[in-house]
Structure 1
Amino acid sequence: MKWYIPYGDPTYFIWLIAALLPLMVGLFYGHRFKGYQTLISLFFLVLTFGGPNWQTGIALVAYVVYQVLLVFGYSYYRQRRESSNKGWVFVLAVVLAIAPLIVVKITPAVQSGKQSIIGFLGISYLTFKVVQTIMETRDGIIKDYHPILFAQFLLFFPTISSGPIDRYRRFINDYQKVPTQEDYLDLVQKGVWYIFMGFLYKFILAYIFGTVLLPKIQFDALMAHGFSWYVIGYMYVYSMDLFFDFAGYSLFAVGISCFMGIKTPMNFNYPFKSKNIKEFWNRWHMTLSFWFRDYIFMRLVFFLMKHRVFKSRIVTANVCYIINMLVMGFWHGETWYYILYGFLHGCALVTNDAWLRYKKKHQAKIPHNKVTELIAIFITFNFVCFTFLIFSGFLDTLFFKGKQF
């Protein structure tokens, strides 16, 4: 039996079509075969986490059981003692939820590159789902918690490895109902479009940029021994490969979700058309960006303002921008280039807000037309590509030969 990385092999889609067809027929006629959906989910999870890497499958099962019980315990506490919403209980629940991810992230740093035995593909995205569920349970937004449904939410196979990051309430609302025949046909039509666009992005454009162009230009850059125009070329080619590969994967995940009657949120919305860095983060990896905005940035702003840590709201927002993006950088890894990537984007968000305030104050003096918009897009695009060059780690290899500091 062949084992697959989700959407990494065109033959994976043959299995998908064969498995989803009965479910799609049922949805077309107004029935969601939940038992069958569970079976095909387990089948594709085995395709991904079985075989030579069966240890990751065991880690996944143990992780899901642990998190389902943890959220159940916190939900039980909130339902039984709704008036006693103690902060330390909430903090403990969040710490326990992210503890496995922290262990997985720091293990390579403390054990000379060795991977943690509790790690598996997609642990970060499942952790985001768990944490947001705990936070919304504390806020009273989620009142009814069903362990089986929560496990279905975590193990929804189209999005398990790299998102998009759905919200528990939104997912359950789709899962518990069957769309009308007209709505389902519209979903299938969208799903087909997303799948075809995903093939264009991932198997054609990402192949051209990542497999054909990138190795050659990387070799030329390394042979030039130091900074050269090849590095600039690498910057743009890597940025295009990163976008088309990840956006293609996300389109596949959203398209397959549509076939299953689930409206998984989109992850990319023409990010390179952004006129400033804030708009970029509203278009790039949107479910991750919005997760960090809602569950780190906004809550940190509220905490600092409540305790009057800073007198100025502007200072508060600026500090939170930096912290938020640094956390995102650390989440990608503990290397200097991930951390610098996050820091630069935090500084860019601070600068962007300052510019928007200045622009609003001097609106009559600052021209705004198609030309200025194109200039703004050009500046934003090149800044993003430069930070992607840092993110790639190529500069570490080029100038420091990958040495650890």
Structure 2
Amino acid sequence: MLFNSWEFAVLLAVTFVLYYAPWSRGRHGKAWQVTLALAASVVFYGWKDPRLIILLAVSCVGNSVATARIILHKVAGDEARVKHWTRLAVILNLALLAIFKYAPFVVGMIPFLPQSWVQAVKGIPLPIGISFYTFHGISMIVDVARGEVTREGDAMLSKGGRFAKGVRDIGFYLLFFPQLVAGPIVKAKQFWPQIAAKRFEAIPWMFVIRALILGYFLKVFVADNLAEQTRALTTPDLVGLSTSGPLFLVPLLYGYGLQIFADFGGYSLIALGLAALFGYKFPENFNFPYLSTSITEFWRRWHMSLSAWLRDYLYIPLGGNRKGEGRTYLNLFLVMFLGGLWHGAEWKFAIWGTLHGLLLAVERFFTRRRGKLEENPGRSPIRALCGWIYTFHAVTLLWLTFLMPDMAHVRAFLKGVTCGQYHMSGPPVFSLLFYGTAVVFYHAWGWGREHRPGLSAKLHGPFSEGMVHALMLFLLITNPGAPSGFIYFQF
């Protein structure tokens, strides 16, 4: 079920009314709200393919039971049992990913397997959002085993004296529908303390309205309209693509760079708004990423919950920057390579991650040589501008691997850019200028907030904010793009 569908609007309305019904104020208010949100999450996830609920249930129940056992053994001081359950839970999560996401990729590289076996494995469907809820499970297991949330977990499991209640609450953390399919990746220590009975009057309505209007505007008006043009880059006609010329292809690539931000940034804002509507606070996932003046800064601003996950559960355990410069560069490369494969079991994603890892390592090498661990302080406006131009174009060029179905399309695109044909098509340029301008204005506002806070505060009044929100509502209602799924749902 999509956030931008009528089915979801109905589900949201029904769930919201029942969630804050009068009986939710009673002594069983928390149990009612958590159980109702769990039921709504199952409907949300299994709406188009109920079979997916089976896999989701296996992951949820397995992680919930294992986490509960780890907490109980942690409190009892039985570290041997803690390690046993931790290994079991991590293996379960990795096995689910290996079977449903990576098995088709691996068997395709084994030459001596019978084709019937290969086709059977490649026929395994990829469950929507499996990477996100698996990462939630792994982070929860590891944090509990490390003792970072043992106190909250012990209180959760012991309250009411029932083990089942604790398992239910853990499952709620894993399945809560705003973040179930595409994040943000919320850590247990951020979410568990918030599980309690919620009150209607405590809803932060201004935050909810701002997040939902902006999120739906970025998705419905910007991303969906740009998608109608960028689909031309995935045409099966590779010959036509390779002879299209730069004046046709380059605007489409810029358009896709703006589209993927509007699509995923819009989703994340909707998720934050929906969570707040039900009394929960999620971490921000984007911080004006196209203002970045280096690839390092870009990964501090783009999909921040994934960047934090990769840092805490891959980069630091691998040694981080504590084992010498050579090992640091290797760790950066490995983390980004694996982060690329997380996005998809295809070589194009591995190449995307590898190139980002190489750029991160090169940047670190040169900043270390200059004796500056921070890339921004003290830089002249000219150097900052050059850094922004380099970063934006490097990131945009690498988005080709997300858009294109395979590497043949990437090669055809690059050939088309250099083919010498210079005919221009109006619709891609118009779409880039008309719809993409919204993303430019959004980042300009972000730049003003960061660099001219005084002026930004003067311009940001109730009247101006109301006018902007009214304009966004008018545009997304009167000029929506063709409805499409969120790009990151495929991961």
* TM-score between both structures, scaled by the size of structure 2: 0.70
Q: Quick one: distance in 2 between partners of 1:221 and 1:115?
A: 26
> Any unmatched runs of 5+ in structure 2?
108-117, 155-165, 413-491
Distance 2:277 2:327 in 1: 44
Match of 2:32 among 32, 35, 55: 35
For 1:392, the equivalent position in structure 2 comes to 403
Contact 1:174 1:262 in 2 (8 A): yes
1:268–1:283 CA contact under 8 A, matched in 2: yes
Amino acid at match of 1:174: Q
C-alpha distance in 2, partners of 1:172/1:256?
17
- The reply to whether residue 160 of structure 1 matches residue 180 of structure 2 is yes
CA shift for structure 1 position 68: 1.8
Contact 1:104 1:115 (8 Å CA) reproduced: no
Residue 84 to residue 28, structure 1, CA distance change in 2 (3 Å): closer
* In structure 2, C-alpha distance between the alignment counterparts of 1:158 and 1:172, rounded to whole Å: 16
Counterpart for residue 195 of structure 1: 212
Report the equivalent of 2:347. Answer: 336
Look up the match of 1:308: none
- What is the rounded CA distance, in whole Å, between the counterparts of 2:359 and 2:385 in structure 1? 19
**Are the aligned partners of 2:133 and 2:180 in contact in 1 as well (CA < 8 Å)?**
yes
User: Kindly tell me: are residues 367 and 248 of structure 1, through their superposed partners in 2, closer, same or farther at Cα, counting changes over 3 Å?
Assistant: closer
Q: Helix, strand or coil for the counterpart of 1:300?
A: coil
Match of 2:231 in 1: 215
* TM-score computed with the length of structure 1 as normaliser: 0.83
Identity of aligned residues (%): 24
- Structure 1, unmatched stretches of 5+, are 306-311
Residue type at the aligned position of 1:360: G
Give me the whole-angstrom Cα distance separating, in 1, the residues matched to 2:388 and 2:34.
43
d(CA) in 2 for partners of 1:25 and 1:71?
A: 31
CA contact (8 A) 2:66 2:86 kept: no
Distance of aligned partners of 1:400 and 1:190 in 2 relative to their CA distance in 1, 3 Å threshold: same
Q: Which deviates more from structure 2 when the two are superposed, residues 65-74 or residues 163-172?
A: 65-74
Q: Distance in 1 between matches of 2:86 and 2:345?
A: 27
* Structure 1 residue 333, shift from structure 2 partner: 2.2
1:241 is displaced (CA, Å) by: 1.6
Deviates more, 1:258-267 or 1:221-230: 221-230
Residues 78-87 or 342-351, more deviating: 78-87
Moved more, 354-363 or 126-135: 354-363
Question: What are the Cα deviations for residues 242-275 of structure 1, in whole angstroms up to 9, with x where unaligned?
Answer: 1111111111111000111100111111110111
Q: Which amino acid aligns with 2:292?
A: S
**2:264 is the counterpart of 1:236:** no
Q: How does 1:118-129 map to 2 (within 5 A)?
A: 120-129=127-136
C-alpha separation in 2, matches of 1:14 and 1:255: 17
Residue pair 1:97, 1:130 contacting (<8 A) in 2 also: yes
Q: CA shift at 1:177, angstroms?
A: 6.2
For 1:27 and 1:170, the matched residues in 2 are separated by 27
2:338–2:353 contact (8 Å) kept in structure 1: yes
Higher Cα radius of gyration: 2
- 1:309 aligns with none
- AA aligned to 2:315 is F
Go from structure 1 to structure 2 and tell me whether the alpha carbon gap of 1:126 and 1:26 turns closer, same or farther (over 3 Å shift): farther
Quick one: distance in 2 between partners of 1:395 and 1:6?
A: 26
- Does residue 67 in structure 1 map to residue 84 in structure 2? no
Query: Which residue matches 2:75?
Result: 79
- Which residue, 143, 147, 159 being the options, matches 2:167? 147
**For 1:193 and 1:28, how far apart are their aligned partners in 2?**
27
Q: Matched residue of 1:46: which SS?
A: helix
Q: 1:367 to 1:58 in 2, by over 3 A?
A: closer
Q: How big is the shift at 1:392?
A: 2.6
Moved more, 313-322 or 12-21: 12-21
